[in-house]
C-alpha cells in the first residue's frame, strides 16, 4: 500500500488530455559522444514550458466546487505561476500569483496573459511563499504550493509513469531538485515499477537548500549564491513533505558548477536543437559529469523546462565556449 503511488496512477489516468504525454527521445549525438544510451525526457514540451503544469492541473482537478468558486493563490518565480494560471484558465478557477520582485518581468507578463493576477513581494521566493500563504488564509482561498503538497507531487509523478511506459530497463534517471516535488513524484513511481533504476538528484553548487538539508538530516536555512538554475533556487519550507520522500527515494546526489550548467545548455542546443532553462541544464550537466560511470548503460535526463529569458540564455551559451 502506497497512497502516494495510488494518487499518481489516478492522476496519470485522469489528467489526460489536459496534461500532455511528453516524448522520451534518444539523443543520437550525445549517446555517441558520452558512450551511454542517453534519453531525453522532454518535459520542457509540457504546456507552459515546464513540468509544473502536471502538479497544478492535479491540484485544481481535486478542488471541490466551493474551493473552485473562491479561487486559488500560488507563489512562484514563474514556472509554477504560469502552470497554475493555465490550469485555472482551463478549469474556470481564478488565480492570483505572488512573485518575488526579482522575478523576470516576461515570466510575470505570461502569467497575466494566461488570466492570472500577479502580486509582487519584496525579497526572495520564500518571502513570496509566506505572503501567498498568509493571503490565502485571510481570503479563504486555497494555497497551491509549488512542492509542499501531496496532490501536487502526485501530479508531478505522472512524468515517472510516462517514463516507465516509454522505456524499460533504465539504469539511471537524472532530475534537478529544488523543493523536491518533482523528484519525489518520479522517484515514487520508479521505486514501485522500476526498482533497479537509480534515481540521481542534481543541484547547482550555488543553490543547495535540499541537498544541504539531506546531508544534515534536517531542514535549515541555506545561504544561496546566484545560479542560472533559477527554477531550483530558494529555500525549502520547514516541515516540507518532500524532505522525507527525498530521504527515502534518492540514490545519489550530484552537484554541478555554473560553468558545467552553461556547457550542458550549449551542448544540447548543438546536439538536439533544444533551448532549455538552467534547471534542465543542471540535470544534463550531471549526466555528462557521471557518463564515464554509465558506459553502455541506459540513462534518462529529465528536461524539466525551457522558460529562460532569451538574453540570459544567449549570454549563458556565449560564455560556454565548446
Give 198-221 pLDDT, tens digit per residue. Answer: 999 999 999 999 999 999 999 999
Tens digit of pLDDT for each residue in 258-288? 999 999 999 999 999 999 999 999 999 999 9
Strand partners, 117: 96
If pLDDT is split at 50, 70 and 90, which confidence band does 322 have?
Answer: low
| CB-based contact 247:183 (threshold 8 Å) | no
Give the C-alpha distances (Å, rounded to integers) separating 305 from 12, 13, 71, 213, 301: 20, 23, 26, 24, 12
* Secondary structure string (H, E, C) spanning 26-39: ECHHHHHHHCCEEE
Fold of 3-49+151-319: Rossmann fold (3.40.50)
Task: Sketch the domain layout of the chain as residue ranges.
Answer: 3-49+151-319, 52-148
The pTM assigned to this predicted structure is: 0.96
Nearest Cα to 208, choosing from 185, 227, 195, 224?
Answer: 224
Provide the greatest CA pair distance for the chain.
56
What are 94's three cell numbers? 481564478
- Around 73, how many Cα atoms within 13 Å sit in the side-chain half-sphere? 20
What are 220's three cell numbers? 535549515
Pairing outcome for strands 37-42 and 24-26:
antiparallel
What are the contacts of 92-97 at 24+ separation with CB within 8 A? Answer: 92/68, 93/60, 93/63, 93/68, 94/70, 95/71, 96/71, 96/72, 96/135, 96/141, 97/73, 97/132
Sheet holding 142-144, edge to edge: 117-121, 95-100, 72-75, 142-144
Phi, psi (rounded to 5 degrees) for 99:
-130, 145
If pLDDT is split at 50, 70 and 90, which confidence band does 1 have?
Answer: confident
Reply yes or no on whether the pLDDT at 126 is more than 90. no
Residue with cell 544541504: 212
Same fold, 3-49+151-319 and 52-148: yes
As assigned by CATH, the class of the 52-148 domain is: alpha beta
CA distance 84 to 72: 9
Amino acid at each position: 500500500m502506497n497512497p502516494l503511488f495510488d494518487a499518481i496512477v489516478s492522476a496519470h489516468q485522469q489528467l489526460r488530455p489536459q496534461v500532455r504525454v511528453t516524448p522520451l527521445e534518444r539523443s543520437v549525438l550525445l549517446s555517441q559522444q558520452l558512450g551511454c544510451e542517453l534519453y531525453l525526457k522532454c518535459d520542457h514540451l509540457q504546456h507552459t514550458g515546464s513540468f509544473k503544469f502536471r502538479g497544478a492541473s492535479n491540484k485544481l482537478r481535486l478542488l471541490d466546487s466551493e474551493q473552485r468558486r473562491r479561487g486559488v493563490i500560488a507563489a512562484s518565480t514563474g514556472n509554477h505561476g504560469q502552470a497554475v494560471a493555465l490550469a485555472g484558465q482551463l478549469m474556470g478557477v481564478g488565480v492570483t500569483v505572488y512573485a518575488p520582485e526579482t522575478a523576470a518581468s516576461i515570466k510575470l507578463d505570461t502569467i497575466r496573459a494566461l488570466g492570472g493576477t500577479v502580486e509582487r513581494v519584496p525579497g526572495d521566493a520564500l518571502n513570496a511563499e509566506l505572503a501567498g500563504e498568509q493571503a490565502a488564509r485571510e481570503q479563504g482561498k486555497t494555497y497551491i504550493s509549488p512542492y509542499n503538497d501531496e496532490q501536487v507531487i502526485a501530479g508531478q509523478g505522472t512524468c515517472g509513469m510516462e517514463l516507465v511506459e516509454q522505456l524499460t530497463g533504465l539504469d539511471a534517471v537524472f532530475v534537478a531538485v529544488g523543493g523536491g516535488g518533482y523528484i519525489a513524484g518520479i522517484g515514487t513511481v520508479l521505486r514501485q515499477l522500476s526498482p533497479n533504476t537509480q534515481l540521481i538528484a542534481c543541484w547547482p553548487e550555488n543553490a543547495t537548500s535540499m541537498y544541504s538539508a539531506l546531508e544534515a538530516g534536517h531542514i535549515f536555512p541555506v545561504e544561496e549564491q546566484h545560479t542560472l538554475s533559477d527554477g531550483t533556487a530558494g529555500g525549502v519550507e520547514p516541515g516540507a513533505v518532500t524532505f522525507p520522500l527525498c530521504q527515502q527515494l534518492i540514490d545519489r546526489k550530484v552537484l554541478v558548477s555554473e560553468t558545467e550548467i552553461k556547457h550542458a545548455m550549449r551542448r544540447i542546443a548543438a546536439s538536439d536543437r533544444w533551448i532549455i532553462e538552467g534547471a534542465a541544464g543542471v540535470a544534463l550537466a550531471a549526466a555528462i559529469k557521471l557518463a564515464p560511470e554509465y558506459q553502455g548503460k541506459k540513462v534518462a535526463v529529465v528536461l524539466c523546462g525551457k522558460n529562460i529569458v532569451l538574453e540570459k540564455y544567449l549570454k549563458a551559451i556565449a560564455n560556454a565556449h565548446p
